[in-house]
Structure 1
Amino acid sequence: MPDLSDHAAVARWRAETNALWGEADDPQVPHRRQEIGGVPCLVAGPPPGSGAPVVLYAHGGGYVLGSAAVAIPITARLGRTLRVVSVDYRQPPEHPFPAALDDVLAVYLALAAGDTPVALAGDSSGGALALSAAVMATARGARPAAVALFSPLLDHAAVPGSPLVDGEGRRLIDHYVGGADPADPRLSPLRADLSELPGVLVQAGADEPLASQAVELQARAVAVGTNITLELWEHLWHTWHYHHLPEADQALIEAAAFLAALLSQPSGP
């Protein structure tokens, strides 16, 4: 990890890391670049006007790393049945909070202005962005049809001890938080008002450190009457969805079915 105050070094490191993780398109579900709400995105799946349900996706990577292209192993599999809009949001340290959230929300509101219901989804730090955008959009009277979160990071003020959020991982998160209060519900949607949300699906590894936040989200959602489904997958790791595994295929098939079922109900769950 370079000195995160050196923006040029971070840009090089991000490009190298993203290339290592992989940014190749999926020939079976090709992605096309499109600007939506003034934000660059990758779009996959059936075209507009096809009637296919629409899902906005926020990639993970500790905010600093990752890209919409890195997330193609997830968005391509969702894109087999759904129209997926994957956001290339602005990233720290060049663009700290709330830049990434502003971009995700701008894309969502642009999509929601149409006639097709829209869901929100994301993994890891992208899960925080997706859930925060869902809460904010709901407060504006533009509630999404559904939310799906994969190994989400949900509370920046009380993160569990793990390599994901300690040491270098903590530095990444801190450069997104910047000078903001980590307990701000826009940063830590676990602390937000969850009472008016649509149906939520959360998938996490049963033994991953962030599973505790998923369990807490379920408890808080149930307490305010929000419909939430929590799946804790045994013997799997943080965001296993990226890998070409039968368990990843099955998890994403279930997530796509969950989203499609709620997206078929324009008035919400």
Structure 2
Amino acid sequence: MYKAVMAAMVAAVAKSPAGAQTASADTHNIIKWALPNTLSPEARAMAAAMAAAPVPNPEPPLEAQRKFVQDIQEGMGRELAKRHNVRAEQSSIAGVPVRILYPQGVTSLNEGPVLLNLHGGGFQLDSGSLTETIPIAALTGIPVVSVLYRLAPEHPYPAALDDALAVYQALEKDHTASRIAVYGTSAGAGLSGQLLAKLSQLGKPMPAAMGYFSGSADLTTSGDSESWMPLPGGAKTMAESVASYVGKTAPADPILSPLKGDISRFPPTLLVTSTRDILLSPTSIFARALLERGVDARLVVFDGLPHAFWAYMDIPETGEANRLMAGFLKSRLNAGAR
């Protein structure tokens, strides 16, 4: 069953403007390049299947994409929850809908450590509130709260940030900042950086750590990785692809683009990307900027894999990525407990 769901997710990645890197005649299109022999056999097979997946033309309406990705997320979630013995609960915090993922032996959020997840999906879909959280909850033994924030284009910035902030501040009532770690993938990585920038602006204490897994912290520029990998939805620039989220806000706003503000107070941060990731450039640029400002930043780059592969590819590298992510987040939360 899980393999079938994963195969469907591969097709979803090819069809979704939020998660796809689709073929385009006016790009170098790295998807067509031969796969390196550094990949596991499972990764090579799945990456090849993604490259061969047909791209719908025209794209399905956004609501149809949301429904499809939701069905895939829930199908994968059931399999992952069973595999990892994690309980997924639908709830709300501060009036914001959330998923709470409880690892084995944990039955409530109580006053212990907690992980706050901001899922990926191009700010338009939920492509990770289960797949990004269940393995991490299991590997850390720490409950994860995944914020089901409002989506664009119906709700442009700062709606998603307001939801994330509301949930974070509610968690702070029972958990000190040193007992909270924030992480996200893709759009969720960008939103994680925005949340920390907002906390810094408000003069609030920083969480124990941030997991920044393939995102952009500066929506005013385009990185080199955009020039040799196709952009989702036929967009010409990454900024164009998230325009519905940005709305009327200036892209240089220091909360929307944290690199335009003061990031020196950011907590220890793990950044993860891959060489065939369209967000390779902005992720690595952010890592360098954090280091230049004295932040403990660690950049991990996987070889030959596509954007956010850990959220939808059932391959050995996904297990490795999840272990790295979980180990980092847990170690920082343990450090904060002392």
| TM category, shorter | 0.7 to 0.9
> Where does 1:189-228 land on structure 2 (aligned, <5 Å)?
189-228=258-297
User: Are 1:159 and 2:240 counterparts?
Assistant: no
1:252 offset after TM fit, Å?
1.0
Match of 2:336 in 1: 266
CA contact (8 A) 1:77 1:252 kept: yes
2:164 aligned to 81, 88, 104, which one? 104
1:126 aligned to 166, 172, 188, which one? 188
Match of 1:183 in 2: 252
Match of 1:76 in 2: 134
- Cα 1:71–1:245 change in 2 (3 A) is farther
CA contact (8 A) 2:111 2:175 kept: no
- Cα 1:13–1:237 change in 2 (3 A) is closer
Output the amino acid matched with 1:78: I
Match of 2:320 in 1: 250
2:66 aligned to 11, 14, 21, which one? 14
CA contact (8 A) 1:120 1:146 kept: yes
- Relative to its length, the structure with more helix (as a share) is 2
Output the amino acid matched with 2:257: S
Output the amino acid matched with 1:235: G
Give unpaired runs (5+ residues) of structure 2.
Answer: 1-14, 17-60
Q: Deviations over 1:160-203 (max 9, x none)?
A: 42434562576651111111111212222233311011100000
Q: TM-score, normalised by structure 1?
A: 0.87
Distance 2:335 2:319 in 1: 25
Give the greater-gyration-radius structure (CA). 2
CA contact (8 A) 1:164 1:170 kept: no
1:40 aligned to 97, 100, 111, which one? 97
Q: What secondary structure sits across from 2:166 in the alignment?
A: helix
- What's the % identity of the aligned pairs? 31
Distance 2:109 2:284 in 1: 38
Question: Aligned pairs, how many?
Answer: 260
Q: TM-score, normalised by structure 2?
A: 0.71
What RMSD in Å do the two structures reach over aligned CA positions?
A: 2.4
